[in-house]
Amino acid sequence: MARTQSAKAAAGRETISRPAAAGSRSPRQRRGLRKLAELTVLLAPAIVLFVGFVIVPMIFAAWYSLYNWNGFGPLSDFIGLQNYGGVLTGPVFHQAIEHNVIIAVLSVLIQLPVSIGLALLLNRRMRGRTFLRLAVFAPFVLSEATTAVMWYELLQPGGPVDALFKHLGLGGLTHYWLASTTLVLYTVFVVATWKYIGFGVVLLLAGLQGIPSELREAAAIDGATPWQATRRITLPLLGPTVRIWIFLSVIGSLQLFDLVWIMTMGGPANASTTILTYQYINGVERTQFGYGATVSVVLFVISLVFALAYQRYALRRDTEGALTRAVG
Amino acid sequence: MRGSRRPVIVAVAVATAVAIAACSSSSSTSSTSTSSSSSSSSAKVTLTWWNNGNTQPLLGVWQSVAAAFHATHPNVTITVVPIQSDLFTTKMPIALKSDNPPDIFQQWGGGQEATQYTSGKLANLSSLSSSWISELGPAAAGWQVNGAQYGIPYDQHVVGFWYRKDLFAKAGITAPPTTIAQLESDDAKLKAAGFTPIALGGGSRWPDAFYWEYFAVRLCSQSVLQSSIKAVNMTAPCFSQATTDLTAFMGTNPFQGGFNATQAQTGAGSSAGLLANGKAAMELQGDWETSVVPALTSNASILNDLGWFPFPQVPGGAGNPTAVLSGGDGFSCTTGASEPACDEFLQYIDSTPVQEELVQKANVGLPANSSAEAVLTNPALQAAAKAHADAAYDAEYFDIAFPTTAGQALDNALADFFAGKGSNSTIINSVSSSSGH
């Protein structure tokens, strides 16, 4: 900061002592123009895409949400906030939100510790480490559609999963994994965990690489046990990565659609419905596009509120330094 | 969804929906249609044709049909745009709102067509088709809005029970049941012989609806049925009776375990797959079953193992006992299309040679033009065709007959009911209120 100010002051002195010739630009102006050109070239494509594919559709969604509209013909049936009343008071929508929250909470409570454990394990030097890392990461590479079709087949009554349980002498544990209204949501969660655990592990491994090994070595010299070193040094320094993972995981949980839609279509009897399957069923399938747009706006607000609150209270510490450096 | 009634892997298609939609919309907008003013026979005309023949064999048949039409009508070029069925739900509203909709597009008729009609972009084909539409018989009425022909079918579907003749024989059943009581006693015999009596694809939702709808078709008189569909109101007592009778039937546990999550047509574990592999003895399905099951089993002679019988009689029913639950596939033209050319093309599709090709090569089920039924060789399919021909009247699948919003709400309410959630009132009210939300 101080250096920038003195540079500016120096530039100012230069301008006073040697006035610029008429028609030519001062170095300061030239620098400003160059910066402007740089910013334009670098930011314009992103801004155009963001405005065109994010901001404008959002404005349209908000606009459509005020109409009763079946998708055909002009928007003529203005109904104000009636769609919002329908969405926010609908029992199935409440169920959908509850399901999204359950998935998000379970992700943090179960996927996170498992991911951290696997990452710590795979960070150690050992035989077959590359293969193990690959094996853990592989499911993440599969598309959600492929994952869903595969697990749908595996979870058939009397299918491979049931056969495995029986083979292990655990035949009593077989269930109608996807047909039971009490189990289906948790079945979906297990499949989502199988798919996304690799992503968490890779993210955390990257975080672990950023922790200097000297810190652990120093702790070891001071007599810390490996557990103490992990507990007091590694995990706290992994904090920023964990906080980013939680953020991505919660947003991902709120947007859960493909897996659920292909495996269960939100059923049976809405037992696995999420905000987006609710939107698809009530907005698209029933051609109530105004209503569907309302669900999108509500989901957007929920995501935005979470994102801002999380930025404010959880991520601020992590991003503060980065932002200050970028601006300064 | 009627889309799922085609033998396609819906599941995978859903996830790629966005990509496909993007691709096909760009291809459709790039292919321009000529204005309706250029209707003289010498003017060059290009017709963009959105159909759901995105998999073989229908894909190839439609392409050859378009080429053959061009050969006899050199001034008309048809651009074939195959689109996965489910995508029509999202693509058609946008297309019909645009200035450049497809000239011809897939049309399932009924309330959905009436919903699309409100866009003002559907061409009235009544006068152009008046000289030949009678060849299709009463089936074409399902594609009318306010008595005018805004769409034309190319095939017909009829819903009934497909059964395994071999499993029936093993269970000691000598003739298919004709009443619900007989069906229930046959179910018991099949269970005793170690078979699941009936496979149900409850995970796909629409197969559930067939049961309740057929009870309603048997219990309600034709006039009550028609007026209720038209008024989008199911408060007539016969609909509640349908729920009561269905509840009693479900109480006999005729379906496979976990049927709520079973898909209708995807994989060997689907309801069609259970029938195909001899794990279940019956399935209530449309005539498209013959095009679905061969792909789901290694049994090369599966079609010979299948028989067909109509939905059994229900005691005390006011409906004509021969009535069938039915539907079909068709096409509409849009107002921007060159209407004589568009109508001529749809007439060509319904001509006997093309209809025979559709039956023989594309397994479309029953042809819209009954003159082509002679080429149906499978005895089970012939039985279905005969039941359809002999029916006193057709009742279109309710989810298509009702406006889309109501029809889909009914499907969901029925699927919930099969999963043990909901009641008669949630079913009855689903079409007239948004309580399904």
User: H/E/C letters for each residue in B146-209?
Assistant: CCEECCEEEEEEEEEEEEEHHHHHHCCCCCCCCEHHHHHHHHHHHHHCCCEEECCCHHHCHHHH
B51-84 pLDDT per residue, tens = 998 887 889 999 999 999 999 999 999 999 999 8
Burial of B49 (0-12, 13-18, 19+ CB in 10 A): buried
Shortest CB distance from B421 goes to which of A156, A269, A287? A269
The confidence band for B28, taking pLDDT boundaries of 50, 70 and 90, is: very low
Which of B11, B261, B404 is facing A178, going by the closest CB pair?
B261
Residues of A in contact with B429 (CB under 8 A): none
Q: Provide mean pLDDT across the span B333-353.
A: 92
User: The CATH number of the domain where B238 resides is what?
Assistant: 3.40.190.10
Q: Please report, for residues A259, A285, A307, B259, the alpha-carbon distance to residue B122 in angstroms, rounded to integers and kept in the order given.
A: 36, 21, 45, 39
Domain presence at residue B436: no
DSSP B310: P
pLDDT of residue B20 exceeding 80: no
Same domain for B119 and B245, yes or no, is no
CB A289 within 8 A of CB A71: yes
Chain B positions touching A149 (Cβ under 8 A) are 9, 11-12, 266
Quick one: closest CA in A to B407, which residue?
A286
Q: H-helix or E-strand containing B30?
A: helix B17-30
Residue B437 lies in a domain: no
Which residues in chain A (79-108) have CB-CB distances under 8 A to chain B?
Answer: 86-87, 90, 92-93
Q: Are residues B121 and B233 in the same domain?
A: no
User: Is the same domain home to B318 and B305?
Assistant: yes
CA B117 – CA B120 distance, rounded (Å): 6
Span B274-311, pLDDT tens digits? 999 999 999 999 998 988 888 899 998 999 999 999 99
- The band of B336, judged by pLDDT with boundaries at 50, 70 and 90, is confident
| Closest in A258, A285, A287 to B15, CB measured | A258
Beta-carbon separation of B15 and A145 below 8 A: yes
Task: Report residue B210: phi and psi, to 5°.
Answer: -55, -40
At residue A124, the pLDDT reads 86
If asked whether residues B125 and B68 sit together in one domain, one would say yes
Q: Which residues of B touch A67 (CB under 8 A)?
A: none
Higher pLDDT, B31 or A117: A117
B253 shares a domain with B311:
yes
Give B-chain residues touching A86 at CB under 8 angstroms.
434, 437
Quote the CA–CA distance of B418 and B398 in Å, as a whole number.
Answer: 17
Residue B235 lies in a domain: yes
Q: Encode pLDDT of B168-216 as tens digits.
A: 999 999 999 999 999 999 999 999 999 999 999 999 999 999 999 999 9
Please answer whether residues B426 and B413 qualify as being in contact, where contact means their C-beta atoms are separated by less than 8 angstroms: yes
Domain A82-327: assigned CATH number: 1.10.3720.10
ipTM: 0.81
pLDDT confidence of B404, banded at 50, 70, 90? confident
Q: Which of A192, A190, A187, A167 is nearest to A175 (CA)?
A: A187
Same domain as B212, residue B131: no
The per-residue pLDDT for B39 is 41
Contact yes or no for A269 and B204 at CB 8 A:
no
Residues A96 and A218: their CA atoms lie apart, in Å, by 50
Residue numbers in A near B258 (CB within 8 A): 157, 176, 178-180
For chain A, domain boundaries: 82-327
Same domain for B297 and B235: yes
**What's residue B42's pLDDT?**
61
Q: What is the pLDDT of residue A326?
A: 45
Closest B-chain CA to A262: B11
CA distance B421 to chain A (A): 6
Name the one residue in this structure whose structure tokens are 């203005």.
A78
CA atoms of B151 and B145, how far apart (whole Å): 9
Residue A288 contacts B where some CB pair is shorter than 8 Å: yes
Number of separate helices (H) and strands (E) present in chain A: 18, 0
Residue A328's pLDDT is 36
Mean pLDDT of B210-229: 96
B contacts of A181 (beta carbons < 8 Å) = 260, 419-421
Coil, strand or helix at B327: strand
Q: How far apart are the first and last CA of chain B?
A: 18
**Whether residue B196 sits in one domain with residue B107:** no
| Residue in B12, B203, B419 nearest the CB of A145 | B12
Same domain, residue pair B70 and B195: no
A94 to chain B: closest CA residue: B437
Residues B231-253: pLDDT tens digits? 999 999 999 999 999 999 999 99
Residue B165: name the closest of B311, B308, B313 by CA: B308
H/E stretch holding B429:
helix B424-430
Q: How far is CA B161 from the centre of its chain?
A: 15
Distance from CA of B433 to the nearest CA of A (A): 11
Q: Which residue of A has its CA nearest to B408?
A: A286
As for how many domains chain B has, the answer is 2
* B-chain residue closest to A258, CA distance: B15
- Is B238 within a domain? yes
* pLDDT (average), residues B125-139: 87
Examine residue B56 and state whether it is found in any structural domain, yes or no. yes
Tokens standing for B175?
């003739």
Alpha-helix runs per DSSP H in B285-422: 289-292, 302-305, 339-349, 352-362, 379-390, 398-401, 404-418
Query: Cα–Cα distance between B35 and B398 in angstroms, integer?
Result: 36
Fill in the amino acid letter for A187.
Answer: T
Rounded CA separation A45/B212 (Å)? 55
Q: How do residues B88-117 score in pLDDT, each as one tens digit?
A: 878 888 899 888 999 999 999 988 899 899
Hey, is B284 helix, strand or coil? Answer: strand
Positions in chain A short of pLDDT 50:
1-21, 324-328
Torsion angle of C-alpha atoms A81, A83, A88, A91, degrees rounded to 10: 150
Contact B15 A156 (CB under 8 A): no
Contact B90, A70 (CB under 8 A): no
Residue of A nearest to B202 (CA): A268
Answer whether B96 sits within 8 Å of A153, measured CB to CB: no
pLDDT above 90: percentage of residues in chain B: 67
- Residue in chain A closest to B434 (alpha carbons) equals A86
Q: Do A268 and B203 touch (CB under 8 A)?
A: yes
Q: What pLDDT is attached to residue A20?
A: 46
The Cα–Cα gap between B70 and B250 comes to 53
Smallest CA–CA distance, residue B98 to chain A, in Å, is: 10
Question: Choosing among B1, B12, B14, B430, which should be mutated to test the A contact, i.e. which has the most A CBs within 10 A?
Answer: B14
Domain that holds residue B264: 159-325+397-430
Q: Are strands B152-164 and B280-286 parallel, antiparallel or unpaired?
A: antiparallel
List Cβ neighbours of B239 (8 Å cut-off, separation of 6 or more): B216, B219, B220, B228, B427, B428
The distance of Cα A256 from the centroid of its chain, to the nearest Å, equals 10
A184 to B14: CB separation less than 8 angstroms, yes or no:
no
Residue of chain A whose alpha carbon sits nearest to that of B404: A286
